[in-house]
Chains A and B, each alone.
Chain A
Amino acid sequence: MAESVITHDCDVLVIGAGGAGLRAAVAAAEAGCSVSVVTKSLLGKAHTVMAEGGIAAGLGNVDEKDGWTVHFADTMRGGQMINNWRMVEIYAREVIDRVFELERWGGLFDRTPDGRIMQRAFGAHTYRRLCHVGDRTGLELIRTCQDRAVHQPGVDIHMEYTLTRLLKDGDRVSGAMGYRRSDGRFVVFRAKAVVMASGGWGRMYKYTSNSWEGTGDGAAMAYEAGAELLDMEFVQFHPTGMIWPPGARGILVTEAVRGEGGLLFNSEGKRFMLEYDPKKQELSSRDVVARSIFKEVQAGRGSTHHGAYLDIRHRGADYIKKKLPSMYEQFHALASVDITKEPMEVYPTIHYTMGGIRVEPETAATTVPGLYAAGESAGGLHGANRLGGNSLGDILVFGRRAGMAAAEYAKVRGVAPALSDSEIEAEQAALVKPLDGAASGKAENPYLIHEALQDAMQDDAGIARTEESLTRALHNIQALQERVPNVHVGGGRTYNPGWHTCRDDVFMLIISESIVRSALERKESRGSQWRLDHLEKDPEQGRVNYVTYKGSDGTMKVKAVPVEPLPVELSKFLEDS
């Protein structure tokens, strides 16, 4: 007899408490639903808090010519035209209202001299477009949404719970189960609708700006429940991560440094971006800048620790401390570098995942009835490359839409769904296995499995890819999939990170396989996908998105789905600008 589980009932379950989850929760509660928000961390610690540069919205406060149509065109071009155009249209139109809404909820922004919201330049945005507050815009956004959500009647927040499986009642989602991290007790959330807002997945790479949370649980759970994963080959390398000291490697250096005038130099003192993109220079799109730094280092023109120099000294100490206070503090504390006096050393770091759960543009509905997805865990908005400033907007626009649609679904559905005891008991047994007795084969350390996966992905499915490297990555992933059932850890279920890592490994292997299989299919270079064996864009492949899903035999399948053609009334905006 399995141990008893704690059961919570709600209309809408929101998985994740970053900006998308919190905005979804507010929307669903405003529609009259009872909402449970579940977060792996404490409230307010999600990756949203690390977003620094700002939120892109065509307000035209600084450059009057800006507006949603230019924002639409920039985002489509940045995504190399394989974005879902309808998502981009909804996004570019609605993000303007979401910025004003944030302000009405108490959020602060830097101001123009006449008292409007200040906007700054950012990579591949035609105009100065990023609403910001210094370099801590994400903190402002999450704190504002957090305060709104905790004071919203109907919203219940459950901190430090890990969910491991979506439950189903027939074809439809009926909730999710997992455990409470503090004591390892099993928990079931029974829900009429579920919003996945669980963020992205950078942790399967060695050098990443992601926290421990970025293991792709949400996308992996959705995949297991029958949802489709779209554009998974597109993983964003942020051009500027810290490179030294070793423990700080991968930590983000905000694009706002370049937005505020920071310049990139190689070891010969040359501004190499003038060559790679004479027009946009340092503010070219992220994929281009990341590749340029990579090429300079490959050519032997790297900095002391094999990166590039990023220099902002010419803006003067006062300006730097006002506009980039957390960068000043970060380099001072972690690297003993005073960025007002010395250049920074930077190198690309895994930052964001463009791909994700495939959704309907209007409602954020996935292909599984009752399951919605928003924010980084969903795919389609950003195409092959995300522009900086488009994630903070994404989470608000589609978080809200997902919350509203999930509430509507829950109301129509009416009665609480049925739960399957056998499904719950099987999951309990699978979860406790790494703690029970001896493993059947050689006992594996879950942290070392994780490390081996990071090496495989960093080396062979990283910034530069070939058929050969990706095939090797796939082999290595499959070998790890065979080892992962033998993970074994000591200690009990009380706050045991080793035990938690066992399931993280399973999720990361699913997501890694999806990335590699999609990258193998896309035999071209586009956006963040840089194939050394297919250096050019292929117009044929520009008409498809790759989708991975779980086949009826339990193995992962890949299919190509056509990109919806852009309607004439929208394509003219691309010609205009």
Chain B
Amino acid sequence: MATVSEPAAAVAGPEHMPDHATGEMVDFNVFRGTPETAQGDKAYKVPMVPGMVVLDAMHYIQKHVDTDLAVRWNCKAAKCGSCSAEVNGRPVLLCKTRVDEMPEGPITVRPMKAFPLIKDLVTDVSGNFAVNQKITPFSPTEADANDPQPWRIKEPDIERLYEFRKCIECFLCQDVCHVLRTHDLHDRFYGPRFFVRVAGLEMHPKDAADRRDEVREDGGIGYCNITKCCSEVCPEHIHITDNAIIPLKERVVDRHWDPISWVGRKLRGK
């Protein structure tokens, strides 16, 4: 991507020096633009503050230099998964990416590549929410659903689910996944986040639905060739490939290649 050459990096006046500023200035190249307008990186200088994260720097630019810089954020504590973007080419949460841990030289901040651009660092991630709507929701048996007594569930039976439920839906795994990022198979492949979702449902002891066909046919789980890029970028450290995708692949294979159940399905007309 071409860098828009600027005579000098945009910088706010000295009256806008934040509290605790160290005196050092940090160089940022931030992607600016919309699908309808010119696009490219714009250079900014931001005063360094101890412990500063990249999101702090984006807020500084918003407040003092370009008030229309678009960036999503909410909790600022890595709990909501809103501020996903790519810093120096790596998909990260901006609120958790420390400036003092970056290598020397300007820091490049760009939007997630796998999703359509809206403006600057903001992309259209609504397709992810549409995927969730296609997945069969939690479905207990009728007996369980109508049981007048509170459920008894032993912790060892749900322990492995806690990991899946940690997902904050930042969609960084969707962004890095080559099936979506490079091959653009959004309409044929759920993506890592939603295999985590399905695994969490399939392994729930009180869930009675069978999602193996939908995850194979609609979800295209076969496209995943286990490169584990998704697990590497997960800010919640979910072992997406090992604990969600591979066990799901095994279930799908069992169903479709187990000769006994194949005969059984034929006899039952399924």
Q: Give residues in A with beta carbon < 8 Å to B.
A: 41-45, 49-50, 59, 100, 103-106, 108, 110-111, 113-117, 133-134, 136, 139-140, 143, 147-148, 150-151, 157, 159, 182, 211-213, 244-248, 251-252, 325-326, 329-330, 333-336, 445-448, 451, 489-492, 494-499, 501
Contacts and interface: CB of A to CB of B under 8 A. Distances in A.
B215 interface: no
Contacts of A447: 62-64, 67
Contacts of A133: 162, 165
Contacts of B165: 108, 133, 136, 139-140, 143
Interface in B114-129: 118-120, 122, 124-126, 129
Given A151-B137, A494-B118, A211 B76 contact: yes
Nearest to B97: A333
Contact of B137 (A108, A148, A251): A148
A91 B228 CA distance: 46
A402 B206 CA distance: 30
B152 A114 contact: yes
Interface in B202-240: 204, 206-207
Nearest to A144: B138
A489 B63 CA distance: 11
B70 A496 contact: yes
A577 B161 CA distance: 38
B254 interface: no
Contacts of B77: 50, 248, 251-252, 330, 334
Nearest to A115: B152
A9 B223 CA distance: 41
B78 A446 contact: no
Interface in B142-181: 145, 150-155, 158, 161-162, 165-166, 168-169
Contact of A211 (B80, B158, B168): B80
A100 B150 contact: yes
A117 B207 CA distance: 18
Given A212-B73, A252-B77, A245 B50 contact: yes
A490 B67 contact: yes
B113 interface: no
Interface of B: 18-20, 34, 49-53, 56, 62-64, 66-82, 96, 98, 118-120, 122, 124-126, 129, 132-133, 137-138, 140, 145, 150-155, 158, 161-162, 165-166, 168-169, 201, 204, 206-207
Given A212-B73, A333-B96, A497-B62, A115 B67 contact: no
A445 B55 CA distance: 20
Contacts of B49: 245-247
B78 A330 contact: yes
A182 B125 CA distance: 12
B98 to A, nearest CB: 8
Contacts of A326: 78-79
Contacts of B72: 41-42
Contacts of B119: 494-496
A111 B137 contact: no
A495 B70 contact: yes
A501 B192 CA distance: 35
A45 B81 contact: yes
Given A106-B206, A326-B78, 11 more contacts: A41-B82, A42-B129, A104-B140, A148-B137, A150-B132, A182-B118, A245-B52, A330-B78, A445-B67, A448-B63, A497-B62
B78 A333 contact: yes
Contacts of B52: 245-247
A106 B71 contact: no
A85 B118 CA distance: 48
A116 B126 CA distance: 37
A182 B77 CA distance: 24
Interface centre among A159, A335, A448, A497 (most CB of B within 10 A): A497
Given A42-B125, A45-B80, A136-B166, A111 B70 contact: no
14 contacts: A103-B151, A104-B140, A157-B129, A211-B74, A212-B73, A245-B50, A247-B49, A248-B51, A326-B78, A333-B96, A445-B67, A446-B67, A494-B34, A495-B122
